[in-house]
Chain A
Amino acid sequence: MTRFWEDIETGVDYPLGEHTFGEEEMVRFAKRWDPQYFHTDPEAARSSHFGGLIASGWHTIVVGHRKLVDALHSEAERLKSLGAEPGLSGPSPGINYVHFEQPVRPGDTLTYAMVVTHKRPSRSLPGWGILFNQIQATNQHGARVYLSEVVGFTKMRHPTIAARVKLILARLSGRAGQPPRR
């Protein structure tokens, strides 16, 4: 899936598509994974400071993740249709941060987007690169509802070259820590 690490551009916005959160879907997700009253009970939620039902933040995140997986899949299909070899995504080592900035209410439509802010060869897995994916969702009023940074592994096309780059970088950073030569 996706592109090889070498072909992934940093600093470019990738649109991931939209999702409208219906009340029934919000309640179903929350009853299973996040059963707090302002996520599961529209009546009781009126007593909360939100004044009504809101989506579980984790629900908005996992829908965004699904959008990302679909986008990676579409990109792989596009490359294959051009006769090119698609890359391969690996498991994620983690999420550096998620900031929830606005509640998501029934009927809200979120627009998801991603930018790879930077990338580097993996230190632990030869042949794999690391991507820092900044993912955000914006509601229909243009307000950002969350901002996150998800780390991802992706396969390198030329791991030997990458390993050489790694070695050079390691030497450079080693030198940086030494006093200047006279």
Chain B
Amino acid sequence: MPNPVTKDRWHFEDLKVGQTFTLGPQRVTADEIKSFAAEFDPLPFHLDEEVAKASMLGGLAASGFHTAAMALRMLVDSMLSHTAAMGGLGFEKLAWRRPLMAGDELGGGATITGLRPSASDPHMGLVTIHLEMHNQSGQEVMVMTLTNIVEIRHPHPLVLGAAG
């Protein structure tokens, strides 16, 4: 029985290696930086401009977890909310290359770098997505590679039989 929420969305068969999605851009304010940090990353250099200026970051910068959350939201808006997505398996090689400073814009792209059927479930395909995020000057801010599960619209009958 097809999932009524996702039946008309892109399925595994609709995705292609090399396909790209534009992410953002979105500006981040000092208030947003402090608000996220107060809840999830209350280190002094994410909460206070003066402390931040004297720190390694050289000014008020978003928590890396905030930057990644912004990128995740952009990925949901531009890709995952149009996909028969079945959740994430995780991610790897997340690198914060440069801080996202108050007033900066975060933008970038997502590229599908891998597509393979799940070895354990004939309804599931695994999609690998590489994110490259930069600021308004084109400087790299963050990269990461995620693996998400996407529903297969027409599971291979032989595989289904083998699994059944």
Contact = CB atoms under 8 A, between A and B. Distances in A.
Interface string A65-106: 110010001000000000000000111111111111001000
B57 interface: yes
A47 B39 CA distance: 32
Contacts of B81: 35-36
Contacts of B93: 94, 96-97
B15 to A, nearest CB: 16
B44 to A, nearest CB: 8
B76 interface: yes
A57 B55 CA distance: 30
A57 B90 contact: yes
Contacts of B91: 95, 97-98
Contacts of A125: 56
Nearest to B7: A47
Contacts of B45: 91
B57 A96 contact: no
Given A47-B3, A47-B5, A57-B90, A69 B42 contact: yes
Interface residues of A, number: 39
Contact of A33 (B6, B42, B64, B69): B69
Nearest to B80: A36
A49 B86 contact: yes
Contacts of B6: 47
A34 B73 contact: yes
B68 A58 contact: yes
A14 interface: no
Interface string B68-108: 11101100110011000111111111111001000000000
Contacts of B72: 33-34, 58
A66 B41 contact: yes
Contacts of B57: 91
B3 A48 contact: yes
Contacts of A89: 43
